[in-house]
Structure 1
């Protein structure tokens, strides 16, 4: 974890909303015929174990460790990058209806029997961790909706070799759950927040709840999460005028802000009207007073800046 001191800003500008770049491995569920076919035809220990996981009806204890394969065979891609970062989608459900993410009436959800159970999640995670993964992030949908989230966190945090257990959440219900989640081993929090204006929040998410998100950010700070990470999708004409306001949030509090380019797909058509390019966001920030400098991480398509308090 990068050190963060109140009064400083570690500022990330992501050039894509595709989080499967760099050294990130992703799983959501293994339930399609295609994935099963891969399982049958692979020598990969993780993929082989997927089908075995689905054949197990229940488990009361953590799965036994599997033999550790060479990272060169398991987690190194064709570009030579070692993948030590795993994302697990716990659910498709969400308690918001963000306009760039979901229709107002929701979407058809995968039937519960096809979703990974707690046992399956822990078994698959254990396979990845014993193969070299050191960080797991829980996502969704909205992961805090999942009723067994605390148990999942507790089981995952007990996996030998796992260093970081993180969550990405919209923060609506996080504040009242965070004390217990921290006790269960959750040690990194990302909260999605696209605006600091309550009326704009309600317009974008089609729900009330801005105050609860802000309470969750403060609750995370009070519990000692350092930094608390905030993800902001920037859209022209909606919140591009708030970039500096988000930066100011970080001056006196241990908060990292990641500004993310909006991916302007309208059906199958690329619509750039709402797109604020990475360079435009960067230019706005570098004009701020007390900018102390930045570091570039082109391998992960981002720049990291810090601003004094």
Structure 2
């Protein structure tokens, strides 16, 4: 993946959004990080969520037991290897809070690698993290060098031609406002009437916002859209009152809220909207090579984490509870070909 920008890419959902340029600076990703990095795993049967995140997440230790019934579903080659090779497309700069090199300068941390570690624990496997560029993440899955991708990958119908999916998060866009602002989106674009909203040019969220602007104007109402070159400029505009809200990927909004919590101008999320538009709930999914046989054990492992409460703790640690799913599904409806 090229250096993260404020565009919403299918699979990164724009979560990169120049997050590193927000309130705090985080270390850039190194070439590769592994499960043995300090703080990424604990004693047998435990995983430390949000280790070395430099404030992007709340460090949380959870106990995770191997579920032998699920482990027995693994393909023989993976089971005999004793490890789950997890691909993350976070090179070169990372995209907090999802995936980046931690404050110890070596641990690959963030919500995505941490969920991979949790799934590996359920499967009784040692997690081996491989960090790559976005394109090389898929090369690894294609060649079998990587078992599964946990990298904010959007479930799309086009990708289903080559990959199988196990969903684990909603793909959400979010409105960020100053905490003192009482406005809420409430899922209805009519609530945007009279507001000034920032959005990144050329993104999925811009497409959606422009459609709403046209509908409002047809009804004799206004919506002013503003563009800024980077995240810092956007939040300076928000702080100064030049804009009412910013519309972008939910993980970046969550990160901004966390980082600004103790500042003079804390922010909050004023509402979310599906990254797939109003006709479909977009989904983020674990991605495996089609026909590999890994989709079911991984989905079952995620469902075990959901049932036993570790999943909720994982989401809460990264302020992503609003993207939680009730269950992991294998190959659920994805973004259609005419909306990609």
TM-score for both structures, normalised by structure 2: 0.27
- Give the TM-score taking structure 1 as reference length: 0.29
